[in-house]
């Protein structure tokens, strides 16, 4: 409210007060000057006038204070309290800012998504049944048997006549490493596979694992990864057993080379100049396959007439004892051309030959067996020898599982 308006209001109130006093004076009876009653009346009149002015001024100040605190509505302020009835000081209420209320979250409805079907591989088989020689069958050592499996072509591709049955791991049990598949097999059809095998002469439990190979050279098996094998698991019984293993006893022998040098045992495969002898638990065959029987690797010194020989401790031979080994070049020995020899020396006598075998790197090997019955009752030393035959490169001879086997 502006200043001029305030002054006008005060003027109006003052005029009203003067009029009221005049009326009051007219209504009072006149008194004699100096009279005590007159003095008392004047005192009361003065007090009443003072109180009246005080009350009027207080009411005027209250009215002005009330008018200055009236809130004028602002249509642009959504937080302002509406002004109704008695004015309320603007500082009396604190209005929070307008806060948006988030909507209530509604969980999404789960939608069932069907699993993506696993595509069927092109090359895969499923084992159906053992048709002969169930797992754990016990067979007489050295006896022949025929193992037959039934397999299903569970892949999406046909097996044609170019497919093979291939040895994977374990013991070959006298079987070949590769066989042709008997006939074509359509997806979903079964096939019976038979392989002729021989129970090992040494007592024990054996297992032979096999896979299939496609006409374009892809090896495959069973299971989701097409790597599972099919196998025969059997036990040889009634054999007499191994009584001496030359590979396991490699450092019992005294090793020398064609230079008449003594060689340390086990040898150093990097010492190709002087030659070496080492034993390996899983040697590699000429065809690249890994064996599960121990082998003795013998390399002659690097001369045209080089050789390596190991002379073993004396051994008393009994009737029926046999020397056995599978001889070949070690896997990866391209150009290998060597000669294997076996000698015995009777106590107090001279060395005599028991056999010799020529080997080259051609992915083939020889299984040798020498009957020692003629030496029964004698105490002899056996000597294993390997010679260079023309070539001096990569001449690494492998005696696979060289043993004396007792049959009686």
**In a domain? residue 180:** yes
CATH number at residue 247: 2.60.120.200
**In a domain? residue 338:** yes
Residues 210 and 307 in one domain: no
Tokens representing 250 are: 């490699």
Tokens representing 145 are: 């048997």
CATH number at residue 234: 2.60.40.10
Residues 202 and 316 in one domain: no
Domain limits at 161? 125-239
Q: What is the pTM of this model?
A: 0.47
Residues 159 and 284 in one domain: no
pLDDT of res. 64? 52
Residues 300, 298: Cα–Cα separation, whole Å: 7
Give the number of domains in the chain: 2
Residues 303 and 337 in one domain: yes
Average pLDDT of span 211-231: 97
Per DSSP bridges, beta strands 230-237 and 204-213 are antiparallel
Q: Which residues contact 380 (CB under 8 A, 6 or more apart)?
A: 314, 315, 317, 344, 345, 346, 347
**In a domain? residue 276:** yes
* 51 phi-psi bin (left φ>0, alpha ψ -120 to 50, beta other): alpha
Report pLDDT digits (tens) over 177-206.
Answer: 899 999 999 999 999 999 999 887 677 899
Report pLDDT digits (tens) over 13-63.
Answer: 555 555 554 444 444 445 445 555 556 456 555 565 555 555 554 554 554
Whether residue 406 has pLDDT greater than 50: yes
Residues 314 and 348 in one domain: yes
Residues 129 and 206 in one domain: yes
Average pLDDT of span 378-402: 95
**In a domain? residue 33:** no
* C-alpha atoms less than 13 angstroms from C-alpha of 273 in its C-beta half-sphere: 0
Residues 260 and 383 in one domain: yes
Residues 388 and 251 in one domain: yes
Whether residue 72 has pLDDT greater than 70: no
**Domain limit, last residue, from 239, 256, 285:** 239
**In a domain? residue 389:** yes
Report pLDDT digits (tens) over 312-353.
Answer: 999 999 999 999 999 999 999 999 999 999 999 999 999 999
Residues 308 and 373 in one domain: yes
Residues 355 and 261 in one domain: yes
């Amino acid at each position: 409210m502006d200043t001029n308006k305030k002054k006008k209001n005060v003027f109006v109130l003052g005029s009203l007060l003067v009029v009221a006093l005049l009326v009051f004076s007219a209504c009072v009876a006149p008194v004699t000057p100096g009279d005590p009653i007159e003095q008392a009346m004047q005192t009361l009149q003065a007090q009443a006038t003072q109180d009246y002015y005080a009350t009027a001024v207080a009411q005027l100040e209250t009215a002005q204070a009330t008018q200055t605190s009236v809130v004028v509505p602002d249509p642009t302020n959504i937080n302002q309290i509406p002004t109704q009835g008695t004015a309320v000081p603007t500082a009396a209420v604190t209005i929070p800012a307008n806060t948006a209320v988030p909507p209530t979250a509604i969980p999404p409805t789960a939608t069932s998504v069907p699993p993506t079907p696993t595509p069927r591989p092109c090359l895969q088989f499923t084992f159906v049944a053992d048709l002969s020689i169930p797992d754990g069958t016990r067979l007489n050592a050295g006896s022949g048997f025929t193992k037959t499996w039934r397999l299903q072509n569970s892949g999406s591709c046909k097996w044609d006549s170019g497919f093979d049955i291939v040895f994977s791991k374990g013991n070959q049990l006298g079987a070949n490493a590769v066989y042709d598949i008997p006939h074509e097999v359509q997806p979903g059809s079964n096939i019976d596979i038979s392989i002729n095998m021989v129970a090992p002469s040494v007592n024990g439990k054996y297992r032979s694992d096999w896979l299939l190979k496609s006409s374009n050279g892809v090896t495959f098996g069973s299971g989701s990864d097409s790597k599972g094998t099919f196998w025969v698991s059997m036990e040889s019984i009634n054999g007499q057993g191994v009584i001496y293993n030359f590979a396991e006893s490699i450092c019992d022998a005294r090793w020398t080379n064609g230079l008449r040098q003594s060689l340390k045992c086990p040898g150093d495969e990097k010492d190709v100049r002087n030659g070496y002898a080492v034993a390996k638990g899983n040697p590699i065959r000429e065809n690249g396959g890994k064996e599960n029987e121990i082998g003795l690797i013998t390399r002659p010194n690097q001369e045209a007439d080089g050789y390596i020989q190991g002379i073993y401790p004396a051994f008393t031979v009994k009737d029926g004892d046999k020397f056995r080994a599978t001889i070949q070049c070690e896997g990866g020995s391209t150009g290998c051309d060597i000669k294997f020899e076996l000698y015995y020396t009777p106590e107090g006598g001279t060395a005599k030959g028991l056999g010799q075998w020529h080997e080259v790197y051609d992915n083939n090997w020889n299984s040798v067996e020498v009957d020692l019955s003629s030496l029964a009752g004698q105490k002899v030393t056996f000597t294993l020898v390997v010679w260079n035959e023309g070539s001096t490169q990569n001449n690494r001879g492998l005696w696979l599982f060289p043993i004396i086997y007792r049959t009686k």
